[in-house]
Amino acid sequence: MSCVEELPRVAHDETGFVSVFQYKDETIRRLLWTLKYKGGKDIAAVCAKMLYEELCAELEELVLFQEFEKPLVIPIPLSQKRWRERGFNQAELIAKELVTHGEGFKLCVEVLEKHKETAPQATIKNREARLRNVLGCFSLSHPEQIAGRNIILIDDIYTTGGTMLEARKVLEAAGARKILCCTVAH
């Protein structure tokens, strides 16, 4: 764990977005690749702990100034096909671990759904093509659970932002109060 804590951190310049590590770091890329494609599920606990530590300062300010309390923690979902191939959702694993750290956090995995199969974002190099790839791929099964709620949206990696932006758009349309987008790496 201490070796992970030594890795370069992301400088925050966007509001509503929290990430811990720089994805350009080779160790982080290998770590997340192992979690995502090699079934290294125990890595999710380390990622969640580091993400929570990074979130603490942001949450203090949000609770104080924007009444960001009792958030729903929602992982970016996988399509059914990708779920069958992998057998798990790495964002969901991180989210499940994250709620064990945060007081008042509530895990919510059944509301946001990926109803449209898309090409893996990692295979698409162009930002505009990535944005088009995920356009309209998310929906809500129970939008009434989102209205007026604070949300912590979880994913493993934020590169161009297409996935997070599309998911956030769906949550905002359902009346989410405030959405904090969180990833392990950016």
pLDDT in tens, 1-38: 445 556 555 655 556 789 999 999 999 999 999 999 99
pTM score, two decimals? 0.90
Q: How confident is the model at residue 178 (pLDDT cuts 50, 70, 90)?
A: very high
The full DSSP string for 116-167 is: S----GGG---HHHHHHHHTT-EEES-GGGTTT-EEEEEEEE-SSSHHHHHH
Q: How far apart are CA 114 and CA 99, in angstroms?
A: 22
Residue 125 has pLDDT above 60, yes or no: yes
The residue among 181, 165, 175, 162 whose CA lies nearest residue 118 is 162
Q: Which fold does the domain 2-185 belong to in CATH? A: Rossmann fold (3.40.50)
CB hemisphere CA count around 40 (13 angstroms): 12
Could you read off the pLDDT of 54-92 as tens digits, one per residue? 988 788 878 777 788 899 999 999 999 999 999 999 999
Kindly report the backbone phi and psi dihedral angles of residue 185, in degrees, each rounded to the nearest multiple of 5, phi listed first: -135, 150
Q: Domain ranges in the chain? A: 2-185
Residue 116 has pLDDT above 90, yes or no: yes
Quote the pLDDT of residue 169. Answer: 97
Could you read off the pLDDT of 149-163 as tens digits, one per residue? 999 999 999 988 899
Question: Which helix (H) or strand (E) element contains residue 34?
Answer: helix 26-37
